[in-house]
């Protein structure tokens, strides 16, 4: 509720500043024009077509990143030999920005289709999830492991019934961070190497100086990202055995 109040106050202030002439209506149109652009693009179906294309790429990259990062993170945290070989490679590639991979992604996958954008999204989402999974497993309380061993747990049970559940809050945090990186990267890729998606919509309208539609695309990204983040938080509350900290 407090967040909704903040959004209403910011929107009202923006509208008031536009009406008072404090903002250039051509470069920074008022919320009323952005809302009109949203209604028009939604009514035409264009907004949802672009949104579906971007959402597909984000979900594809996140899914592949999750499927690769979580097992590798658990394996590296639990096996010293794997850790010795894998971590140097991870730390060598991690500083490279996902956007820097775009030229190679275009060469490998081409501009048509979702390959290049999905690959960039995978790169963006992999490293946060890997590092948080790795940290989560490495920071398991020793008392939990000892208690499980006392009850007769073998290595497999320690991994599946103790390590992964204990690391779940870390994994979820990594997934939430990866979600933001995935959206940033897929929009950047669509701005450069795509003929569909919200990034393409933003760039196309920018070239035509249709600023309300540009902001409409940006607001759509924020709104959908917010909903996805809330969904992840609710999943964590449902499946995590560690009680989450209550919001003040």
Domain spans, the chain: 30-239
Residue 234, C-beta contacts closer than 8 angstroms, at least 6 positions apart: none
Give, in order, the Cα–Cα distances in Å from 224 to each of 65, 199, 219, 228.
20, 14, 9, 6
Q: Which two tokens stand for residue 169?
A: 């809050």
Can you state the angle between helices 164-193 and 46-78, rounded to 10 degrees?
Answer: 140
The predicted structure's pLDDT at residue 195: 78
C-alpha span between 143 and 149 (Å, rounded): 10
Residue 113: what pLDDT? 72
- Non-local CB neighbours of 173 within 8 Å, separated by 6+ positions: 132
For 112, 165, 176, 232, 233, the CA distances from 239, given in Å and listed in that order, are 39, 9, 16, 11, 10
Distance between CA atoms of 168 and 72, rounded to whole angstroms? 15
**Coil, helix or strand for 41?**
helix
Sign of CA dihedral 31, 51, 213, 177: positive
Per-residue confidence (pLDDT) for residue 245, from 0 to 100: 44
The pLDDT tens digits along the chain (248 residues) read 677 888 888 889 988 988 888 888 888 888 889 999 999 999 988 999 999 999 999 999 999 999 999 999 988 987 888 889 999 999 999 999 988 998 898 888 877 777 888 889 999 999 999 999 998 888 776 665 556 556 556 566 666 666 677 778 888 889 999 999 999 998 988 888 777 889 999 999 998 889 999 999 999 999 999 999 989 888 777 765 554 444 44
Q: Which two tokens stand for residue 35?
A: 């809302």
> Which pLDDT does position 161 carry in this prediction?
62
What pLDDT does 243 receive? 46
Second-level CATH architecture of 30-239: Orthogonal Bundle (1.10)
What does the DSSP assignment read for 183-211? HHHHHHHHHHH-SSSHHHHHHHHHHTT-H
């Amino acid at each position: 509720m407090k967040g909704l109040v903040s959004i209403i106050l910011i929107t009202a202030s923006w509208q008031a500043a536009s009406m008072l002439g404090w903002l250039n209506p051509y470069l920074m149109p008022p919320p009323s024009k952005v809302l009109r652009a949203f209604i028009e693009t939604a009514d035409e179906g264009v907004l949802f077509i672009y949104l579906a294309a971007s959402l597909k790429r984000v979900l594809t990259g996140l899914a592949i990143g999750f499927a690769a990062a979580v097992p590798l993170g658990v394996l590296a945290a639990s096996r010293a030999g794997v850790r010795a070989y894998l971590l140097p490679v991870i730390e060598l590639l991690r500083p490279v920005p996902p956007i820097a991979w775009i030229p190679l992604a275009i060469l490998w996958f081409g501009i048509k289709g979702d390959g290049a954008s999905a690959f960039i999204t995978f790169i963006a989402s992999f490293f946060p999830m890997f590092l948080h999974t790795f940290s989560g497993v490495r920071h398991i309380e020793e008392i939990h492991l000892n208690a499980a061993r006392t009850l007769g747990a073998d290595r497999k049970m320690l991994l599946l019934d103790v390590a992964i559940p204990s690391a779940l809050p870390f994994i979820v945090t990594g997934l939430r961070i990866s979600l933001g990186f995935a959206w940033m990267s897929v929009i950047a890729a669509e701005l450069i190497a795509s003929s569909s998606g919200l990034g393409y919509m933003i760039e196309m309208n920018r070239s035509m100086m249709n600023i309300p539609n540009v902001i409409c695309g940006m607001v759509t990204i924020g709104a959908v990202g917010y909903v996805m983040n809330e969904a992840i938080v609710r999943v964590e509350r449902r499946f995590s055995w560690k009680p989450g900290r209550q919001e003040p």
